[in-house]
A and B are shown apart, each in its own frame.
Chain A
Amino acid sequence: MVRAMTVLLLCQLAGTVIQQGTGWPIPGPVMGLVLLLAILIRMGGPSADLHGTAQGLLKYLGLLFVPAGVGVVTELPALRENALAICIAIPVSTFLGLAVTGVLMQWLVGRRGDA
């Protein structure tokens, strides 16, 4: 588990170094994700250790969102002032995103419900 955690942190570190060094607007951890994916393809898959640690972390992914979400207490005025914009922008854009992706994907794979 320590080795797997080290691999994950090294990928994140490398990603962050690339991001800071190049000024690309892609977050360091996302670069780390791409790096790890490239390594996995090259190595032919994750070790049992890495697989287990990744699954363990992702199982509690929900918990990891909580501290940032509690930050809503510092944003209450901004939310109140823009309540209308937020209450329309999020539902409409989510509806459009679901419809566009779903319709296009179904049309492009060309078959129905047989997956």
Chain B
Amino acid sequence: MHSLLPLPLFHVWAYLQTQPLLGLTATLCAWELSTLIDRAAGHKPASNPILLSIIMLAALLLLTGTPYRAYFTGAQYVHFLLGPATVALAVPMYANLPAIKRNFFAIAVSLCAGSITAAASAMLIARALGAPKLVVISLGPKSVTTPIAMGISQDLGGSPSLTAVFVLITGMFGTLICTGVFRLTRVKDWRAQGLAAGTAAHGMATSHMLMLNQTAGAFGGLAIGLNGVVTSFVVPLLVQIFGF
């Protein structure tokens, strides 16, 4: 890239690489463009704006030879908001409290079972196929919403960015297969479908369920928050039990 630019432009480019402006603007531009494409494509799982934005920006970094650290100088301002956004999940959870109380036992049992199943099977399969510790631990929290998953991964010595990628793959795959899985296992109850979608494939599958049924969407939202908390306990325990 450097050799392609005339000298004054090269200086501008070099200057911008040290500033937050470019990375932040590029992130927002990629997001706007991705949401337009997603809308035009009719909200398909494959046109998910999160995935599209990541592909665009990753391609941009690779093509221009920009180090991720230079990009993150700007993107960190968006990234920082994940913390308060995680705390903000308490608000929709509070709104669903009556529904939680009514079905508390069923929700607690199914969610814990699903959470343990998803995390343990992912980690055990990866280890059996020879993946190193870093990859195995980074896979543990992949069913949880990204900010929580990244926090768990970081605390256990995994790679938060690897976890972020796994969370995305899980979300897309879960969105693609959930309707088929429910048909195969004869799960017809909307509450059960929503809870399963939110537990196994976080917000991406939940937003898909929300388009099919309001109740399913509410139980999905509930599962995202609850599974975040449950998985925060489950994955460290699994790491200890199986010695990952």
Contacts and interface: CB of A to CB of B under 8 A. Distances in A.
B229 A104 contact: no
Interface string A72-115: 11110011001011101111111111111111111011011111
B232 A85 contact: no
- The range of chain A's interface size is 35 or more
Contact of A66 (B75, B162, B229): B75
Given A30-B86, A64-B79, 17 more contacts: A12-B87, A28-B83, A32-B86, A50-B91, A66-B27, A66-B50, A67-B27, A86-B139, A86-B169, A98-B177, A98-B197, A100-B117, A101-B111, A101-B195, A104-B113, A106-B189, A106-B192
B156 interface: yes
A41 B97 contact: yes
Interface in B36-61: 49-50, 53-54, 57-58, 61
A115 B178 CA distance: 19
B12 interface: no
Contacts of A55: 91
Contact of A89 (B31, B125, B190): B125
B79 to A, nearest CB: 4
Interface residues on B, range: 35 or more
20 contacts: A8-B88, A26-B233, A33-B86, A34-B90, A54-B91, A57-B81, A58-B89, A63-B27, A63-B31, A63-B53, A65-B82, A65-B146, A68-B146, A68-B164, A70-B57, A73-B62, A86-B126, A98-B182, A98-B200, A112-B188
Contacts of A5: 84
B132 A82 contact: yes
Contacts of B123: 89
A67 B79 contact: yes
A64 B109 contact: no
A106 B219 CA distance: 13
